[in-house]
């Protein structure tokens, strides 16, 4: 365990070196720490990485190119990169009980792209090449490649709809996945807000996807991955799970059995930040039969890996293997449930009525607001959230009708269930005192709002006072 003096010295020294070159960057870094210390951060996809994880990213590994995989690089001199990549993969396999781990993806979307192309290569490209090569004595003809490109781009994906809690990378048009695949969505029950597995099976039988995607970015309940795997098997689909949001709950053994995706999915993707509390990056876990294709992520999809981030992943994954991480994961869920219960007691309407995981969705139409209005009013009051769609959202994906709140970051700071009830009161105070605004022509605005500055100031002060008992990075003093 590092000493307070060691952490303070490390960050002070780093800022001193930066300040000598570009003082404005050093100032922005220091200001970011100050802002984060003062913010009541409820963004479900954000967290606080440890000092060891942060420091692992600022070193000479940043200077290395390392295309390829461990022991098979396109550049010389990668022996130390091999060490940290192998360590990160080892920790990932042990932590999640996975057969294979690929730790190079730069982000969640990169991890998903690696997974998509690995499945396409395994299920479509390889068989097509074998068929073409059987007809050709020499190299493939241009006609063969044209036919293959058409076949690769003519596959089907089935995933959760955006308004039900799915993610853009699961086949939606604004994202590259929606241009790669013919996509269809499954939603949730219009009354309960829960996944209707019978309906998913019905859609899968009719649509016959190549890939069935499980996972979410805004669904507040557990998912039964055993049932989804059975549905995938029944239609011959590859079952992929994106656990970017809840990887920490899997690592911390909050989600086990049918609710742990790793034993059930052919391939699992994740980010390494969010509830896993590591550096910003991605990762792919898979069954042995897909390992070779996944390891071709660079150069198939990725450019040069980021060895300094892989070093930080190794540190964060090692931290997640410690016993105290399981306690942390349990407290994330306890806090989320306490926050949800506090909001419901005060009359807030939540999607599905509560939560089983790290997040909850407030339907702010019950306050007469759009998600954008609520998001900004809360921000004015020192509470950082993000607007989010609700099922069958009447306000669309930009203005939305919901607010997504999550507890990983505040749990890292040490806040508990008692503080969550206080936060529920602060959120309810802001939303109940905010009113929708109007456009210049008198029509209702989906963006403008009115909130008494005195209310916003009072809530901001209360939030700040609450956080004083839970200092962020207490061992880091930059003064």
Q: Which of 46, 122, 242, 295 is catalytic?
A: 242
What residue ranges of the chain are covered by domains with CATH 3.40.640.10?
63-320
Task: Indicate the average pLDDT of the chain.
Answer: 93
102 assigned to active site: no
pLDDT at 164: 85
User: Is residue 274 among the annotated active site residues?
Assistant: yes
Q: Which of 73, 123, 229, 274 is catalytic?
A: 274
Question: CA–CA separation, 224 vs 260, rounded Å?
Answer: 8
Mean pLDDT confidence for 185-203? 95
Nearest to 463 by CA among 375, 356, 382: 382
Of 285, 274, 436, 422, give the one whose Cα is nearest residue 371.
Answer: 436
Any alpha helices (H) in 266-361, and if so which ranges?
Answer: 288-294, 297-300, 307-320, 323-345
Question: Residue 14: what pLDDT?
Answer: 95
Residue tagged active-site, from 38, 67, 82, 421: 67
65, 184, 196, 230: which one is catalytic?
Answer: 65
Q: How far apart are CA 66 and CA 78, in angstroms?
A: 6
Q: 266 pLDDT band (50/70/90 cuts)?
A: very high
* Token output for 28: 């922005």
The single residue of 169, 238, 271, 385 carrying the catalytic annotation is 271
Tokens read off for 207 = 């649509």
Classify domain 324-468 by CATH number. Answer: 3.90.1150.10
Is 65 designated active site?
A: yes
Listed ranges 84-98, 121-135, 157-171; the one with the highest mean pLDDT: 84-98
Residue 163: other Cβ atoms inside 10 A: 21
> Which of the following CATH numbers is that of domain 63-320: 3.30.565.10, 3.40.50.150, 3.40.630.10, 3.40.640.10?
3.40.640.10
List, for residues 304-313, the tens digit of each pLDDT value. Answer: 899 999 999 9
216-236 pLDDT per residue, tens? 999 999 999 999 999 999 999
Least confident of 19-23, 97-101, 136-140, 469-473: 136-140
Question: Pairing between strand 238-242 and 211-215?
Answer: parallel
Strand bridging mode 181-186 / 155-160: parallel
Taking the model in full, what pTM does it have? 0.93
Query: What is the structure's pLDDT at 167?
Result: 85
Summarised one tens digit per residue, pLDDT across range 364-379 is: 999 999 999 999 999 9
Omega of the bond leading into 455 within 30 degrees of 0 (cis): no
> What does the alpha-carbon distance between residue 341 and residue 284 come to, in Å, rounded to a whole number?
35
Give the tokens for residue 284: 């792919």
Place of tokens 């994961």: 329
In the set 93, 226, 280, 346, the catalytic residue is 280
Residue 222 a catalytic site member? no
Residue entry with tokens 């306050």: 367
Q: Which residue has the higher pLDDT, 2 or 191?
A: 191
Instruction: Reply yes or no on whether 448 is catalytic.
Output: no
State the alpha helices, DSSP H only, in 208-322.
225-235, 247-251, 288-294, 297-300, 307-320
Q: Is 271 a catalytic residue?
A: yes
In the chain, ranges of CATH 3.90.1150.10 domains: 324-468
């Amino acid at each position: 365990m590092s000493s307070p003096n060691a952490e303070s010295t490390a960050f002070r020294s780093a800022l001193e070196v930066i300040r000598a070159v570009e003082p404005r960057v050093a100032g922005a870094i220091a200001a970011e720490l100050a802002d984060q210390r003062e913010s009541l951060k409820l963004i479900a996809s954000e967290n606080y990485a440890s000092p060891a994880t942060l420091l692992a990213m600022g070193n000479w590994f940043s200077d290395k190119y390392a295309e390829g995989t461990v022991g098979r690089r396109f550049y010389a001199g990668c022996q130390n990169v091999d060490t940290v990549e192998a360590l990160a993969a080892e920790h990932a396999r042990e932590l999640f009980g996975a057969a294979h781990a690929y730790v190079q993806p730069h982000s969640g979307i990169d991890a998903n792209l690696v997974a998509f192309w690995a499945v396409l290569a395994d299920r479509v490209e390889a068989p097509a090449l074998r068929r073409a090569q059987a007809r050709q004595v020499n190299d493939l003809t241009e006609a063969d490649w044209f036919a293959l490109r058409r076949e690769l781009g003519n596959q089907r994906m089935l995933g959760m709809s955006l308004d039900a809690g799915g993610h853009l990378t699961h086949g939606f048009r604004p994202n590259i996945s929606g241009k790669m695949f013919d996509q269809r969505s499954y939603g949730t029950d219009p009354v309960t807000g829960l996944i209707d597995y019978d309906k998913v099976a019905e859609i899968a039988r009719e649509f016959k996807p190549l890939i069935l995607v499980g996972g979410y970015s805004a669904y507040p309940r557990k998912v039964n991955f055993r049932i989804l795997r059975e549905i995938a098997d029944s239609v011959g689909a590859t079952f992929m799970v994106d656990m970017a949001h809840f990887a920490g709950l899997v690592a911390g053994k909050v989600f086990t059995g049918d609710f742990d995706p790793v034993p059930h999915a052919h391939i699992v993707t994740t980010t390494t930040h969010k509830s896993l509390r590591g550096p910003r990056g991605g990762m792919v876990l898979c069954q042995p039969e897909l390992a070779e294709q996944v390891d071709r992520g660079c150069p198939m999809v990725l450019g040069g890996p980021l060895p300094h981030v892989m070093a930080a992943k190794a540190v964060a994954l090692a931290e997640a293997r410690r016993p105290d991480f399981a306690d942390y994961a349990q407290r994330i869920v306890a806090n989320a449930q306490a926050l949800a219960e506090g909001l419901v007691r005060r009359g807030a309407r939540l999607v599905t009525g509560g939560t089983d995981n790290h997040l909850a969705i407030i339907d702010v139409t019950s306050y007469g607001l759009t998600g954008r209005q609520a998001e900004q009013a809360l921000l004015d009051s020192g509470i950082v959230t993000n607007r989010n769609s609700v099922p069958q959202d009447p306000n669309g994906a930009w203005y939305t009708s919901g607010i997504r709140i999550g507890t990983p970051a505040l749990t890292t700071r040490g806040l508990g269930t008692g503080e969550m009830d206080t936060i529920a009161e602060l959120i309810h105070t802001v939303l109940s005192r905010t009113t929708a605004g109007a456009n210049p022509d008198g029509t209702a605005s989906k963006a403008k709002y009115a909130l008494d500055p005195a209310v916003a100031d009072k809530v901001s002060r209360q939030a700040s006072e609450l956080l004083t008992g839970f200092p962020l990075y207490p061992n880091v003093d930059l003064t």
